[in-house]
Amino acid sequence: MPRSPQRFSDPIQKTSVVDTLATKLRERILRNELRAGEPLRQEALAEAYGVSRMPIREAFRQLEAEGLVEFHPHRGAVVSAMSIEEAEELFDLRLLIETDLIARAIENASDADRATARAAFEAVQHAYSTGDEERWGALNWEFHKSLYTASNRPRSLSLLDGLNANIDRYVRLQLSLENSAPDRANSEHKQLLEAFVGGDGATAKSILQMHIRDARTSLLKALRERQDMAVD
């Protein structure tokens, strides 16, 4: 007798649960509801979300790959610590990858790509004008991503997507420590958009280098001041 076709509905459902849990836990970490160094108890979270421990554990693994969760002997999963060294590395990676992508994207950008970038910029501006810092932080990446999509570098974009959750954590911290960060970023975003729409790859790359370096410098300064205050 021919074998019955295999059913795949359960694995799809399971993946959906894991992704949903990872999204919820990620957002709680980014909002600092789950603080750096805080233990993540599988049993408590499974009970709170009404699931078994298995999808919680798999969600932890997703967040570990993003750098948001660490596993320690005898302690299990904890929210990963934030450090000056990690911030330096993340922003150095941004500098290498994003400046290459924007130059490539400008060579290939269509009218639709330019319209998408304008819409993303306007969304960031709206969040900025309404004082919605959390929304601004999320849309900041969407704007940057809109400048790189036409690069036709899916692996580089996927790598940036993976890094972004951890980068977003530092960006949100910077917003809470430095009130002028959105002002400076929005001014530079406008210059970036103008260069992108105008097809000026050299200028866009130069502005983006300055944008990332300025963000890196001000973030590291804020982190060092925060560290000094904690020591005092």
pLDDT digits (tens, 9 = 90+) for 74-114: 888 999 988 899 999 999 999 999 999 999 999 999 999 99
Same domain, yes or no, for 70 and 101?
no
Q: What is the pLDDT, as a whole number, of residue 10?
A: 46
Pick the range with the lowest mean pLDDT from 25-39, 123-137, 143-157, 189-203: 123-137
Same domain, yes or no, for 108 and 150?
yes
Q: What is the pLDDT, as a whole number, of residue 232?
A: 54
φ, ψ for residue 94, nearest 5 deg: -55, -45
End residue of a domain, out of 32, 62, 79: 79
Which amino acid is located at 91 in the chain? F
Q: Is residue 174 part of a domain?
A: yes
Q: Is residue 127 part of a domain?
A: yes
Residues in CB range of 103: below 8 A, 6 or more apart: 201, 202, 204, 205
Could you read off the pLDDT of 166-185 as tens digits, one per residue? Answer: 888 888 777 777 666 777 88
Same domain, yes or no, for 32 and 136?
no
Q: What is the pLDDT, as a whole number, of residue 2?
A: 52
Q: Is residue 37 part of a domain?
A: yes
Q: What is the pLDDT, as a whole number, of residue 75?
A: 83
Same domain, yes or no, for 132 and 22?
no
Q: What is the pLDDT, as a whole number, of residue 9?
A: 47
End residue of a domain, out of 58, 79, 100: 79
Q: Is residue 1 part of a domain?
A: no
Which amino acid is located at 143 in the chain? F
Q: Is residue 96 part of a domain?
A: yes
Six-digit token string for 141: 């990446």
- Under the banding of pLDDT at 50, 70 and 90, the label for residue 6 is low
Count of domains for the chain? 2
Average pLDDT in the chain = 87
pTM for this one? 0.79
Q: What is the pLDDT, as a whole number, of residue 132?
A: 78
Could you read off the pLDDT of 49-79 as tens digits, one per residue? Answer: 999 999 999 999 999 988 899 998 888 899 9
Q: Is residue 4 part of a domain?
A: no
In this structure, is the dihedral angle defined by the CA atoms of residues 147, 191, 225 and 177, taken in order, positive or negative? negative
Task: Give residue for tokens 């911290």.
Answer: 173
Same domain, yes or no, for 149 and 191?
yes
Q: Which residue has the higher pLDDT, 8 or 119?
A: 119
Say whether pLDDT at 129 is over 80: yes
The enclosing domain of 25 has a CATH number of 1.10.10.10
Q: Which residue has the higher pLDDT, 176 or 156?
A: 156
- Under the banding of pLDDT at 50, 70 and 90, the label for residue 12 is very low
Same domain, yes or no, for 166 and 130?
yes
Find the angle CA(179)-CA(180)-CA(183) to the nearest 5 degrees.
125
Q: Is residue 65 part of a domain?
A: yes
Range of the domain at 175: 84-231
Q: What is the pLDDT, as a whole number, of residue 87?
A: 92
Say whether pLDDT at 229 is over 90: no
The enclosing domain of 207 has a CATH number of 1.20.120.530
